Amino acid sequence: MFVEIMNAISKYAIPFILLAIPAYGFFKKVKVYEAFTDGAKEGFTTAVRIIPFLVAMLVSIGIFRASGAMDILVKAVSPITGLIGMPGEVLPMAIMRPLSGGGASGIMSELITTHGADSLIGRMASIMNGSTETTFYVLAVYFGSVAIKKTRHALPAGLIADAVGLVTAVLVANLMFG
Partner 1 sequence: MINVVWFLFIAVGIIVAAFTGNIEAVTDSAISSARLAVDLSLGLIGVMALWLGIMKIAEVSGLIKAISKALRFVMVPLFPDVPADHPAMGAIIMNMAANVLGLGNAATPLGLKAMQELQELNPNKDTATNAMCTFLAINTSSVTLIPASIIAIRASAGSANPTEIIGPVIVATVASTTAAIIAVKLLQKLPAFQIKPQDLEEVKGQ
Judged by CB under 8 A, the stretch of 75-83, 84-92, 164-172 that binds partner 1 is: 164-172
Residues in the interface with partner 1 (CB under 8 A) total 99
Out of 1, 66, 76, 83, name the contact with partner 1 by CB under 8 A. 66
Q: Considering the rule CB under 8 A, would residue 157 count as an interface residue with partner 1? A: yes
The amino acid at 113 = T
Q: Considering the rule CB under 8 A, would residue 148 count as an interface residue with partner 1? A: yes
Q: Is 111 helix (H, G, I), strand (E, B) or coil?
A: helix
Q: Considering the rule CB under 8 A, would residue 48 count as an interface residue with partner 1? A: yes
Burial class (CB in 10 A: 0-12, 13-18, 19+), 122: buried
Q: Considering the rule CB under 8 A, would residue 1 count as an interface residue with partner 1? A: no
In terms of phi and psi (left: phi > 0; alpha: psi -120 to 50; beta: otherwise), the region of 80 is alpha
Q: Considering the rule CB under 8 A, would residue 76 count as an interface residue with partner 1? A: no
Q: Considering the rule CB under 8 A, would residue 103 count as an interface residue with partner 1? A: no
Where in 106-125 is the site for partner 1 (CB under 8 A)?
108-109, 112-113, 116-118, 122-123
Q: Considering the rule CB under 8 A, would residue 129 count as an interface residue with partner 1? A: yes
Q: Which is nearer to partner 1, 69 or 80 (CB)?
A: 69
Q: How many other C-beta atoms lie within 10 A of the C-beta of residue 46?
A: 12
Q: Which is nearer to partner 1, 90 or 169 (CB)?
A: 169
Do 143 and 53 meet the contact criterion of CB atoms below 8 Å apart? yes
178: Cβ contacts below 8 Å, ≥ 6 apart: 85, 120
Judged by CB under 8 A, the stretch of 77-85, 86-94, 144-152 that binds partner 1 is: 144-152
Residue among 125, 130, 95, 97 nearest 109 (CA) = 125
